[in-house]
Structure 1
Amino acid sequence: MTFALAPTAENYRLEAFDTIGSTNAVALQRAQAGDPGKLWIVSKKQEAGRGRRGRPWQTPEGNLAATVLVVGRYEPKIAATLGFVAGLALADALNAVVPQKKLSVGIDGGGAGRNRFELKWPNDVLAHGAKLSGILLESMLLPDGRFAIAVGIGVNVVAYPDDVPYPATSLRALGADCDAETLFLALSDAWVDNHARWAEGRGLDDIRRRWLDQAAGLGSEVAVRQDGRIVRGIFETIDSDCQFVIRDRQGVELRIAVGDVHFGAVASADAD
């Protein structure tokens, strides 16, 4: 089976690779060369991908590495919310193609079983409380003043890393018979719907509400690592700018723009 776009994605274009260094890097190269956006770059093997804060993210053969290039005139804080659009789109795609399975309480203490796939702030999709997917946004300012945003989505379809300091899983490990091509077809469809809801940032309230409906750990104790320190509290919501909002043990509300979140009482210095 080959990669293909869903019929609803008729205004998008697709470049598929057998092997690629980084789908995000290629997307930004295309933007620098004048690509207008609405371009998907996909591969089943990625050798030089990156996660948050420059961490390496390799995609072994059979997993999905996909990036959609978005080009427009956005404020940086609005552009950053495309990560929440991507999380919703992926969750919708997974629910469409993965057979119904009852999920248990999360390994990391956060999954309450409300949804088969849950969204972990700011950029992960979980299944059984373990990381199934990571999302990374990278951007550049173009000469005409527009922003090019590479929305990268990596999914553990057939394999997951076992040398990471957090629980991880794959669709295969969950018993799902789904390949990267089938998942991407559903993802390209779900992206169109969720991007339309986002409406260049005007629909962010709707995105925020839908994201919270699928949020992992909502109402539970969390530990957030920020600049080498750990902040603990109860995960209450995400605000209108999609910042992470917790209430600490003294009852003080804290808004967090950047940090690594872990559920439960323990967060290590190596947490991702």
Structure 2
Amino acid sequence: MTSIPASLSHQRIPRSDGRAWQMEIYGTLGSTSDTCKARLDAGKGVDGLAILALSQTAGRGSRGRQWADPGGNLALSVMLVGQGTEVPVGLWPFIAGLAMHDAMADYLPANHALQLKWPNDLLLAGRKMAGILIEAGTCATGARWQVIGMGANLRHAPAIAGRELACLADATPDAPGASDVACAVLRHLDRWLGCYASYGFGAVRAAWLERGHPVGTAVNVTAGNRQFSGTFAGLADDGTLLLQTPHGLCHVVTGEVMVARTG
């Protein structure tokens, strides 16, 4: 197993149920999610552990993409073990997405142009600034685990050919540091987990729709080798994307969505 360097510091972020997120802060890691998984493989999984790297050299995004991190951005993963995995994996993009959205909104003016994009991206003025990677498995002991990886461009948007990216500093001259944003994300994550526990996914779904691309937005969906075009028609009760096409209403379980730019 690859050795993990010593952490720079620890922070305890209280939760509403009396527990706390235990956040370890590192200078540089390959991948915060891989660090969590290495702990799990070694039998050292801790429910509620959060790993923050101030620089990440081998970050991963969805569909096997590299998540470029030039430093000064957010690279945060949360480990959930045993009872902490009671939220179904398929609902995490919405809960984590709301936490990410609301944490970023804390630092932006009231007329910010933040928007969630199904299933796991956050856009700023129509350009991607953050993403979420959900992984799950089972420990050698049989306990289930989930790792929620969250990356956001705070002070720098990497240049990637063919992609338009944004960073928080594009909209505010005083972009916060990664540790401050990580604490905000974890506080909002606790709030939305509490909402889900009290009111179910319906409340989470309604909140996501308030912050997501509006119903009627033109979108293109790539799912495997198939492509669909239509307009966003909302979310089904399980979070499935509803796409209105010329041939009728489609339910999209997984895929990559491209939102049409306007203006």
Give the alignment's TM-score, normalised by structure 2. 0.86
Q: Within 5 Å, which residues of 2 pair with 1:228-243?
A: 228-243=225-240
Instruction: Tell me by how many angstroms 1:238 deviates.
Output: 1.1
RMSD: 2.5
Do 2:220 and 2:228's aligned partners in 1 also have CA atoms closer than 8 Å? Answer: yes
Match in the other structure for 2:145: 148
Match in the other structure for 1:113: none
Q: Within 5 Å, which residues of 2 pair with 1:159-198?
A: 159-177=156-174, 178-198=176-196
User: Quick one: structure 1 residues 76 and 183, their matched pair in 2 at CA, closer, same or farther if it must change by over 3 Å?
Assistant: closer
The CA distance in 2 between the partners of 1:117 and 1:264, in whole Å, is 15
Relative CO higher for 1 or 2, CA cutoff 8 Å, sep ≥ 6? 1
The CA distance in 2 between the partners of 1:88 and 1:51, in whole Å, is 18
User: Quick one: structure 1 residues 65 and 20, their matched pair in 2 at CA, closer, same or farther if it must change by over 3 Å?
Assistant: same
User: Quick one: structure 1 residues 58 and 12, their matched pair in 2 at CA, closer, same or farther if it must change by over 3 Å?
Assistant: same
Do 1:5 and 1:185's aligned partners in 2 also have CA atoms closer than 8 Å? Answer: no
1:258 matched to 2:254? yes
> CA offsets, 1:22-75, max 9 Å, x none?
111111222231423111000121111111111111222111100011123699
Do 1:6 and 1:186's aligned partners in 2 also have CA atoms closer than 8 Å? Answer: no
Question: Which secondary structure state, in structure 2, belongs to the residue aligned with residue 168 of structure 1?
Answer: coil
User: Quick one: structure 1 residues 135 and 95, their matched pair in 2 at CA, closer, same or farther if it must change by over 3 Å?
Assistant: same
Question: Which secondary structure state, in structure 2, belongs to the residue aligned with residue 163 of structure 1?
Answer: coil
User: Quick one: structure 1 residues 173 and 3, their matched pair in 2 at CA, closer, same or farther if it must change by over 3 Å?
Assistant: farther
> CA offsets, 1:201-240, max 9 Å, x none?
x721111111111112432111101222320111001111
Do 2:130 and 2:151's aligned partners in 1 also have CA atoms closer than 8 Å? Answer: yes
User: Quick one: structure 1 residues 25 and 156, their matched pair in 2 at CA, closer, same or farther if it must change by over 3 Å?
Assistant: same
1:35 matched to 2:45? yes
Question: Which secondary structure state, in structure 2, belongs to the residue aligned with residue 12 of structure 1?
Answer: strand
| Counterpart residue identity of residue 178, structure 2 | A
User: Quick one: structure 1 residues 71 and 176, their matched pair in 2 at CA, closer, same or farther if it must change by over 3 Å?
Assistant: farther
The CA distance in 2 between the partners of 1:207 and 1:133, in whole Å, is 19
Do 1:64 and 1:156's aligned partners in 2 also have CA atoms closer than 8 Å? Answer: yes
Match in the other structure for 1:108: none
Instruction: Tell me by how many angstroms 1:150 deviates.
Output: 0.7
Instruction: Tell me by how many angstroms 1:144 deviates.
Output: 4.1
Q: Within 5 Å, which residues of 2 pair with 1:132-147?
A: 132-147=129-144
| Counterpart residue identity of residue 194, structure 1 | W
Instruction: Tell me by how many angstroms 1:168 deviates.
Output: 0.9
> CA offsets, 1:80-126, max 9 Å, x none?
21121111001111122x131534xxxxxxxxxxxx32110011011
Question: Which secondary structure state, in structure 2, belongs to the residue aligned with residue 56 of structure 1?
Answer: coil
Match in the other structure for 1:20: 29
The correspondence for 2:56, drawn from 28, 31, 46, is 46
Match in the other structure for 1:94: 104
Moved more, 17-26 or 5-14: 5-14
The CA distance in 1 between the partners of 2:231 and 2:188, in whole Å, is 31
The correspondence for 1:67, drawn from 50, 62, 77, is 77
Identity of aligned residues (%): 28
Instruction: Tell me by how many angstroms 1:3 deviates.
Output: 7.0
User: Quick one: structure 1 residues 81 and 176, their matched pair in 2 at CA, closer, same or farther if it must change by over 3 Å?
Assistant: farther
Do 2:50 and 2:78's aligned partners in 1 also have CA atoms closer than 8 Å? Answer: yes
Do 2:70 and 2:158's aligned partners in 1 also have CA atoms closer than 8 Å? Answer: no
Instruction: Tell me by how many angstroms 1:241 deviates.
Output: 1.4
Do 2:129 and 2:168's aligned partners in 1 also have CA atoms closer than 8 Å? Answer: yes
